[in-house]
Amino acid sequence: MPKPFRIEWDAHEYEHKQRNRDWFWAVGIMSVALAVVAIIFGNIILALLILVGAFSLSLFINRPPEHVHVVVDERGVTRGKTHYPYETLKYFWIDHLHSHPKIILRSKKMFMPLIVIPLDVEANLDVIHTALSGVLEEEFHSLPFVEKILEYLGF
């Protein structure tokens, strides 16, 4: 049984980027072009899915990020209302080189392999690292490839 500890912080759920009109025009033009290609190939349902997805993305994308309360204690990691017990986790990695620092947890579950926990800019990384290394093994994990592409494209 690990020694009792409790570390808490509040962080934004994601890094907010302000998008200008050109970004919305580019997404709109690309989604309409993809929808036209889908229609040419006879897949009208895919075209509708692309257009609805682009529309919902444009409504959602400028929403300011919510604050998430994170707790790391001897029982597990809690992000908002979701608790991840250490028994369901394999490894951890603290990505502090990224512009928006985060903890990346490797889960034992097949359909949720990586859990990304946002860190506060003022969080004490040494204390968090010491606490997590007492209960989990540390293994390098980078962000998933899809997430890197989405960040590069401005999502």
Give the CATH number of the domain where residue 96 resides: 2.30.29
Is there a single domain that holds both residue 33 and residue 105?
Answer: no
Q: Count CB atoms within 10 A of the CB of residue 27.
A: 18
pLDDT-derived band at 76, boundaries 50, 70, 90: very high
pTM (2 d.p.): 0.72
**Whose CA is closest to 15, among 139, 141, 130, 118?**
118
Chain segment 89-142, per-residue pLDDT in tens: 999 999 877 777 888 899 988 887 888 888 887 778 888 888 888 888 888 877
Confirm whether 30 is domain-assigned: yes
How would you list the strands of the sheet with 137-138, edge to edge?
Answer: 114-118, 102-107, 89-95, 137-138
Domain carrying residue 46: 21-60
Is there a single domain that holds both residue 47 and residue 83?
Answer: no
Is there a single domain that holds both residue 99 and residue 119?
Answer: yes
Is there a single domain that holds both residue 54 and residue 98?
Answer: no
Confirm whether 1 is domain-assigned: no
Is there a single domain that holds both residue 139 and residue 77?
Answer: yes
Query: Residues near 136 by Cβ (< 8 Å), separated by ≥ 6?
Result: 86, 89, 90, 91, 92, 105
Is there a single domain that holds both residue 43 and residue 71?
Answer: no
Is there a single domain that holds both residue 70 and residue 132?
Answer: yes
Confirm whether 131 is domain-assigned: yes
Total domains in the fold of the chain: 2
Is there a single domain that holds both residue 44 and residue 106?
Answer: no
pLDDT value at residue 96: 79
Is there a single domain that holds both residue 69 and residue 142?
Answer: yes
**Whose CA is closest to 83, among 100, 99, 93, 71?**
71
pLDDT value at residue 1: 54
